[in-house]
């Protein structure tokens, strides 16, 4: 029996059960699999990160497309200010088709009113019933002034089927390049660029034809520009204390404003109001929808006479308001009209 047992042991030692048949790495993997109750899944990208990247890409594409459309629809708004935009040109073209042109005065100078003839080429129905306005932009200073307020187009130019001879007169205060921007119903229609010569140093002040006879050119030579109007009293009156002043002079007045005039040492009287623009050396009627003269009467806010009116200044800058009482020069009010 003992000999048979020894033979059996020798036979088993010669089989594959003898020795170590698993490495430590294999044993570790087997143990991990036995003790894990779920399948390990590979990592996936965060859903929020995917959403954020996708949203950004869509927005970027939309911005590029919308910008391209805007540039095509309104190129002068996007590309304004480039060197090409400021080349002198008296025609505005779209796809080589002239939309309008201008015939500027060959003697055009700063500080002097000149007539401008615009020739619009499209059929009259393009303009009929719409409001046309013109602004002038100065290249050097960047100042923009409205030289033609909004006015409705109701009929063609006399003797023409459309607006082939649309005329307007205005004054540009500075020499250099000016861009005339035409708008229809507030939308940009086109522009041209003109060159304005330096104002003649010996240019005389021109008085409007309908100004009262007692207003003299010499009145403007004696303006004291250093005597600025100041605020006094407790009602916001701005002017020369105990002489004349205005309530409302600190309000925007380029598009119309109500002013209350006050006079001291005067009772009932005819008050003539004349505006003089320093930069352009031009004389203007500033009473809006009225003549040159209104009636001042009755005390108010400590003054001996007062009167309300509507005023509108054609351009911003430094202004001298000359006041005449019953035909005689009474006072000068110096204001800065900026808006």
Per-residue pLDDT of the chain (339 residues; tens, 9 = 90+): 565 555 545 544 544 445 555 556 555 655 655 555 444 445 555 666 566 676 666 766 555 544 444 434 444 443 343 446 899 999 999 999 999 999 888 888 887 888 899 999 999 999 999 999 999 999 988 889 999 999 999 999 999 999 999 999 888 888 899 999 999 999 999 999 999 988 765 567 888 889 999 999 989 988 999 999 999 988 889 999 999 999 988 887 888 889 999 999 998 899 999 999 988 888 999 998 889 999 998 999 999 999 999 999 888 889 999 999 999 999 999 999 887
**Contacts with 303 (C-beta within 8 Å, 6 or more apart), sequence order:** 237, 245, 262, 263, 264
Q: Where are the domains of the chain?
A: 47-76, 80-196, 218-337
| Class at the top of the CATH hierarchy for domain 80-196 | mainly beta
Q: Nearest-CA neighbor of 260 among 299, 316, 228?
A: 299
CATH code for the part of the protein at 218-337: 2.60.40.3830
66 in the Ramachandran plot: left (φ > 0), alpha (ψ -120 to 50) or beta? alpha
Are the C-beta atoms of 178 and 147 separated by less than 8 Å? no
Q: Do domains 80-196 and 218-337 have the same CATH topology?
A: yes
């Amino acid at each position: 029996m003992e000999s048979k047992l020894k033979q059996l042991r020798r036979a088993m030692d010669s089989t594959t059960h003898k020795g170590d048949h698993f490495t430590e790495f294999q044993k570790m993997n087997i143990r991990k699999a036995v003790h894990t109750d779920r399948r390990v899944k590979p990592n996936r990208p965060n859903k929020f990160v995917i959403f954020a990247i996708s949203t950004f890409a869509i927005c970027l594409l939309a911005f590029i497309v919308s910008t391209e459309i805007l540039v095509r629809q309104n190129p002068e708004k996007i590309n304004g200010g480039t060197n090409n935009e400021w080349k002198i040109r008296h025609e505005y073209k779209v796809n080589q088709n002239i939309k309008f042109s201008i015939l500027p005065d060959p003697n055009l100078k700063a500080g002097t009113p000149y007539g401008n003839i615009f020739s619009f080429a499209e059929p009259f129905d393009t303009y009929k019933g719409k409001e046309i306005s013109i602004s002038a932009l100065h290249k050097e200073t960047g100042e923009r002034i409205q030289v033609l307020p909004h006015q409705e187009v109701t009929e063609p130019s006399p003797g023409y089927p459309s607006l082939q001879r649309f005329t307007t007169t205005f004054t540009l205060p500075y020499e250099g390049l000016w861009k005339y921007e035409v708008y229809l119903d507030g939308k940009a229609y086109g522009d041209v660029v003109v060159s304005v010569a330096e104002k003649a140093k010996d240019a005389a002040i021109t008085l409007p034809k309908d100004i009262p006879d007692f207003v003299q050119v010499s009145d403007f030579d004696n303006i004291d520009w250093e005597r600025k109007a100041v605020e006094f009293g407790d009602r916001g009156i701005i002017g020369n204390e105990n002489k004349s002043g205005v309530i409302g002079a600190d309000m925007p007045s380029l598009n119309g404003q109500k002013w209350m005039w006050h006079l001291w040492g005067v009772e009932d009287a005819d008050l003539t109001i004349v505006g003089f623009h320093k930069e352009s050396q031009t004389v203007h009627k500033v009473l809006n929808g009225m003549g040159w003269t209104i009636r001042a009467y009755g005390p108010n806010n400590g003054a001996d006479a007062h009167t309300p009116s509507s005023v509108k200044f054609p351009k911003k800058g430094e202004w001298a308001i000359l006041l005449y009482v019953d035909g005689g020069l009474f006072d000068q009010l110096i204001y800065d009209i900026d808006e």
